[in-house]
Amino acid sequence: MKQDSYDEQYEEKYKELFQIVQTSLDEENIEDFRIDFLEMHPYDQAMFFKEQENSKRENIYSYLAPEEMSEVMINIELEDVAYYFTEMDPRYAAMVFSEMPADDAVDILNELDKEQVASFLTIMDKEAADEIKQLLHYEEKTAGSIMTTEYVAIFKDQTVRKTMQLLKKEAPDAETIYYLFVLDEDKRLVGVVSIRDLIVADDDVIIDEIMSSQVVAVSVAKNQEDVAQMFRDYDFLALPVVDFQDHLLGIITVDDILDVMEEEASEDYTRLAAMSDTDRKDDSAFTSAKKRLPWLIILLFLGLFTASLIGRFEATLNQVAVLAIFIPLIAGMAGNTGTQALAVAVRGLATGEYSNQGKMKLMMREAATGLITGSICGVLIAIVIYVWQGNLFLGLLVGFSIMASLIVATLAGALIPMIMHRLHIDPAVASGPFITTINDIISILIYFGLATTFMGYLV
């Protein structure tokens, strides 16, 4: 109850502050607006900014310095923030980019077209532009594309005193200072020192004596999903990025990895829903249709194949028309259980839970799960059909078809993502609708194959 009361008080205070800032903005009271707005957390500033109409945003651009606006921009979702830069004065936008962490600036610039990027880089401060250009060259979704070059590096032969002096000088421009990365005379990464190590050490101690040489680093070309896995496994706050000769190129911070995790989760969800890309709230109906159509067309032709497959058993249906009643039941059950197995497999592969032995164990477990669920569902439906239709063999046929379909569908739902993973294809491509359609085909083959074989008992 106390927590609920606190939350209500905070929400009330939050709304009150928003109203105060809104009033200052509406009245064009620049001084009061700046005082109240800059007291807000950067995330709250971003939420306030997003609620404003175009004319109000134009005023905010004129009220805030580029450095202040950069804090707002990096707290807005990537799919939304690029638009705001296109409505700013180009020179102001270039200065905002210059004030942002280079990795965040690169993420936003990648959302713009090449002409806009070239224009901003031309206007931008040369030092900031050069840093951003360097990061823009790295392939998307790699460690290089999400790293920042704003870090503090020291040499192993420095003293703690000299290091602390350097830290005071460079810390304001660094994205994080929880770790300092140690280089040798050839600028190769050889160790890491925490702020805590520096604080407790004597001033005259050499860094080489207190650093940890067991430093974990990632290659600049490593996939961002694998990097996210390393953060999860090691509980890192920052991770150094190196080239093939162990030269330090940059660092990846935990806030960047949180963005990666969100991006990968969104991408997997999109593929599981059989879409080529995620719908955005500002997409037109035409754009949304364009993103959804490719998979739908593929599934349409798979559906036609399923229909033609049923047509091949027309003679069986003509003799025992009641079989048609149970087609949706068997196909639907197979599709559902296949999707369940798919979700388990994709999640396990995405989180790295399954080694080679783990994959075999998963397959054995899914086979057993399919057998148990299929047997129970099969027995239940056999009893229901016998009571409903008064035909024992029809009940046994449908019940056995469901049992066999559920076993095969469960195995397919687990196996197909693993095959794709082995072929270095994202397992999420084995989307729910795709698995469902494949299992429809399998279940219909089983159902009508058995019905045709044992036709004499049905007529």
Kindly report the CATH class assigned to 153-253.
alpha beta
Question: What pLDDT was estimated at residue 398?
Answer: 86
184 touches 285 (CB < 8 A): no
What single-letter amino acid sits at 318?
N
Q: Give the list of residues 6+ apart from residue 429 with CB closer than 8 angstroms, or none.
A: 271, 420
144 touches 249 (CB < 8 A): yes
- pTM > 0.75: yes or no: no
Domain ranges of the chain: 13-140, 153-253, 285-458
Domains 13-140 and 153-253 share a fold: no
Name the CATH code of domain 285-458 (choices 3.40.50.300, 1.10.10.10, 1.10.357.20, 3.20.20.210): 1.10.357.20
The torsion defined by the Cα of 38, 42, 44 and 45, in degrees rounded to 10, comes to 50
Walking along the chain (459 residues) 10 residues at a time, the average pLDDT comes out as: 56 81 93 92 91 92 94 88 90 92 87 88 88 85 87 91 89 81 91 90 92 90 87 86 91 86 67 55 67 71 77 76 81 81 74 65 84 90 87 86 88 81 66 73 85 74
Question: What pLDDT was estimated at residue 241?
Answer: 93
> What's the CA gap between 53 and 65, in Å, rounded?
20
Side by side, which strands form the sheet with 153-155? 153-155, 179-183, 189-194
- Return the closest-CA partner of residue 444 out of 328, 366, 355: 328
Question: What pLDDT was estimated at residue 24?
Answer: 92
Q: Give the list of residues 6+ apart from residue 219 with CB closer than 8 angstroms, or none.
A: 143, 241, 242, 243, 244
- Return the closest-CA partner of residue 439 out of 401, 412, 416, 400: 412
DSSP state of 139: P
Question: What pLDDT was estimated at residue 1?
Answer: 47
| CA 72 to chain centroid | 23
Kindly report the CATH class assigned to 13-140.
mainly alpha
Backbone angles phi, psi at 100, to 5 degrees: -80, 155
